[in-house]
Structure 1
Amino acid sequence: MKFDTLVLGAGMVGVSIAAHLQQRGLSVALVDRKAPGNETSFGNAGLIQREGVYPYAFPREFSKLLGYASNRSLDVRYHPAAMPKLAPFLYRYWYNSEPSRHAAIARSYATLIERSVSEHQALAQAAGAAALLRPTGWVRVFRTPERLSQEVRTAEQWQREFGVTFDALDAPALHALEPDLAATLVGGVRFPQSHSVNDPNALVTAYARYFEQLGGRFVHGDALTLAPQWRVSTDDGVLEARSVVIALGPWSERVSGALGYRLPLGIKRGYHMHYRPERNAKLGQPVLDVESGYLLAPMARGIRLTTGVELALLDEPKTPDQLAAVEPIARKLFPLGERVDAEPWMGQRPCTADMLPIIGPAPRHQDLWFAFGHAHHGLTLGPVTGRLIADMVTGAAPFVDPRPFRVDRF
């Protein structure tokens, strides 16, 4: 079976790429071991973060680093046995998080982020899934006036630099907006430009269905069998194509590494659990408890609690200690009832050391393309990446400057 392009990976990024390429008239096969949207894209906060112009930096304050070293922090945990292998990546991550470097990174990152909502809207409209995008915005809440003031200053900076809009909420305004949150909160900062999704898997599935309606084909297969120039083994036999896009999220390094590319990719793991709200309590938008490092989001399945970061090696067993640590705190913030899921879900975010995704052609192989390393913003940046890759693969003028995201920057 022959195609113009193989897209390896059926998360939000891979499905968006496949749909955009199929829109351009290419014949595309989308290959994954699982159905679309059933790995990292399945469990997240459901946010399309228009405000996320500054990617998440590595902490620089000595007091924070000392607190993380104890491995009891609510927002960041790590596997001690993984640290020797992760140390080079973490050092580069820390280096690039220096404020002036971080600001330069943000200027490149913003070119993707500022198009995130509009590109989702365009793809969702074409896929008949516009109702899944909700213009709710989201809010970061605080327990201390000092942290609230600091967040307002940061939001003011984002507004000056990148046109990010925000609402500074005092306690009465916050509780008028979300009356079932704890009365002890002193206020929050809301970002109204961002959208939310109450079922991320349903959105990925809708985009995949649209891809198939355009004539694309989804096939279960093993991306690790990829061989030049280009073929991959699947349940339906060997597929061949002129070009291939690696969009395997955290597993991308295994396939790119087999082709000789050594990229500074690290893994940030996260967990989620769903709860039934008590006493008919309502949550209208995602809410981040900044000082405790977790997020609550209204989902189709219930209220989703998502944890912060766990640093570990790829495919290590689950260790949902963070979830157990923050659940009692979350119950005081919002009236969570019984757990809905039988066990915590775990996902693995692919992160580069300079916080920018890798999007573009491989330097040593013809017709090989990379699209991974989106860290916390895979859901946010899927359609943007899809359009940018489609521009480059088809020879169109890229609608975003792709140079900051090229693979040979490492």
Structure 2
Amino acid sequence: MAQEITVLGAGMVGVSVAWHLQQRGYAVRLVDRRAPGEETSYGNAGIIQREAVRPYAFPRDLSTLLRVAPNRAVDIRYRPLDVLKSARPLFGYWQSSAAGRYAKIQPQYAALIQQALETHEKMIQAADAEHLIRREGYLEVFRTTAALEAEAGLAEQDQQYGVEYQLLDQAALAQREPHLSTELKGAIHWTQPWTARDPGALVKAYAADFVRAGGELVTADIQSIRRQGQQWEVSTGQQKVTSEQLVIALGPWSAHWLARLGLRVPLFSKRGYHMHYASEHPLHHWVMDAEVGYLLAPMQAGIRLTSGAELSGLETAPNFAQLAAAEQVARGLFPLGERLEATPWFGSRPCLPDMKPVIGPVASQTGLWTAFGHGHQGFTLGPLTGQLIGQMMEKEPTAMPMTPYALERFFTE
């Protein structure tokens, strides 16, 4: 009889973990309060970011801090009370963003990103999801020559991690995207990333393949988690499910459940917003307005405008001012049409102070595994995370040393 495993969380990460474990012959149960791909995985930009070898650092230069402080920027906003509540992990984030520490973190982060395309490819083919994928990269556009040249310099350094790109001047950019503002100075075309025309649908396709292959999907609220003898017991109110192994892949909600097991994880949230628009003009690529901090994506549902990050608690009421500010700027970049939804979507990204996820077993809790904290890259790194969890469970070699991603790093420093 196959060993039973329960995976909590049906976003890109949880679905990918469940898929990989099911492929290895385990009897896997995937549990979430909502259907697959309907939380954070639904509302992202839909980019599998092979170029993203530089994790998002906390701004440390005075000019950025002064720009962000009035809380009116498009790229970064914050809720003062939530910042106070998360002061300790945010301070750790600030420390990790110092040049010396960041230089040690980046190779560990890049080692994950470098595996993103291959691990998605296996799942895309198995799930027959090619119709959702475009393999044309995306454009990062710039309003000033200085900013373009600065990013080009970083891109050149990123080549050590296998990153590929093209520099586009004004004329070349206008040829690629004739409906963008003519005031743009140029762009970097990141050529390797793949994009999903409906990110939530891609997660659902992966989940459907998991179910077709014999996996079990349970849609219910989690009420409690506890260790009962040699088993983990998860109560949903409707039923109790038990298994020898339990994987927590609940994104920003993971810290809540680990705290109930006596494990305090310094997780904090970055919230994002999006809205879809009807446009009479085609947008051929995903377009990041680099110096302002939002992205336009030609999704199946319309042109999706995604906001920058808001430091905000999970239960804090939404504030759509950041999205409105992004929309105002975006209308000067590209001719957006009318809004297609009555209310913007919002969701939260799970972030950790050192910008790396936690992937692997919990040393102090037999049979307990973690797979969360991917920050901006859960959509990109979900399949790799599933592959790594499967390899670690069966004590197989992994593509990189896993100690840098262990949960225990937060309890030993």
Deviations 1:21-43 (A, max 9, x none): 00000000000000001101010
* CA shift in 2, pair 1:38/1:171, >3 Å: same
Deviations 1:106-163 (A, max 9, x none): 101111101101110111101111232210201110111111111111111111x212
Local SS of the residue matching 1:109: helix
Local SS of the residue matching 1:40: coil
CA contact (8 A) 1:222 1:232 kept: no
Q: Cα distance, 1:262 vs. partner?
A: 0.9
Structure 2 residue identity aligned to 1:186: K
Find the counterpart in structure 1 of residue 172 from structure 2.
Answer: 173
Q: Cα distance, 1:396 vs. partner?
A: 2.2
Local SS of the residue matching 1:219: strand
State TM-score, norm by structure 2: 0.96
Find the counterpart in structure 1 of residue 392 from structure 2.
Answer: 392
1:4 maps to 2:4: yes
State TM-score, norm by structure 1: 0.97
Q: Cα distance, 1:99 vs. partner?
A: 1.8
Percent sequence identity over aligned pairs: 50
1:268 maps to 2:289: no
Structure 2 CA distance, aligned partners of 1:295 and 1:100? Answer: 30
Find the counterpart in structure 2 of residue 234 from structure 1.
Answer: 236
Structure 2 CA distance, aligned partners of 1:402 and 1:224? Answer: 31
Local SS of the residue matching 2:154: helix
CA contact (8 A) 1:3 1:240 kept: no
Structure 2 CA distance, aligned partners of 1:131 and 1:367? Answer: 38
- Comparing 217-226 with 324-333, which one deviates more in the overlay? 217-226
Structure 2 residue identity aligned to 1:168: L
Structure 2 CA distance, aligned partners of 1:385 and 1:285? Answer: 27
CA contact (8 A) 1:3 1:239 kept: no
Find the counterpart in structure 1 of residue 16 from structure 2.
Answer: 16
Structure 2 residue identity aligned to 1:96: S
Count the aligned residue pairs: 406
Structure 1 residue identity aligned to 2:100: S
Structure 2 residue identity aligned to 1:13: V
Find the counterpart in structure 2 of residue 45 from structure 1.
Answer: 45
Deviations 1:186-211 (A, max 9, x none): 10111100110010011000000000
1:139-288 alignment runs, 5 A limit: 139-159=139-159, 161-228=160-227, 229-234=231-236, 237-278=239-280, 281-288=281-288
Find the counterpart in structure 2 of residue 77 from structure 1.
Answer: 77
Local SS of the residue matching 2:124: helix
Deviations 1:250-302 (A, max 9, x none): 00001111101111111000000000013xx1111211111111100110000
- Comparing 93-102 with 381-390, which one deviates more in the overlay? 93-102
Structure 1 CA distance, aligned partners of 2:223 and 2:254? Answer: 9
Deviations 1:15-68 (A, max 9, x none): 000000000000000000000011010101100000001110011101111221
Structure 2 residue identity aligned to 1:260: G
Structure 2 residue identity aligned to 1:154: L
Q: What runs of 5+ residues in structure 1 fail to find an aligned partner? A: none
Give the aligned CA root-mean-square deviation in angstroms.
Answer: 1.2
Structure 2 CA distance, aligned partners of 1:373 and 1:221? Answer: 23
CA contact (8 A) 1:224 1:254 kept: no
CA contact (8 A) 1:391 1:399 kept: no
Structure 2 CA distance, aligned partners of 1:21 and 1:236? Answer: 25
Q: Cα distance, 1:235 vs. partner?
A: 6.5
Deviations 1:341-369 (A, max 9, x none): 11000010000000000001112100100
CA contact (8 A) 2:8 2:31 kept: yes
CA contact (8 A) 2:223 2:236 kept: no
CA contact (8 A) 1:269 1:310 kept: yes
Deviations 1:86-116 (A, max 9, x none): 2111111111011222121110111110110
CA contact (8 A) 1:286 1:298 kept: yes
Q: Cα distance, 1:220 vs. partner?
A: 1.6
1:332 maps to 2:335: no
CA contact (8 A) 2:222 2:237 kept: no
Structure 2 residue identity aligned to 1:274: H
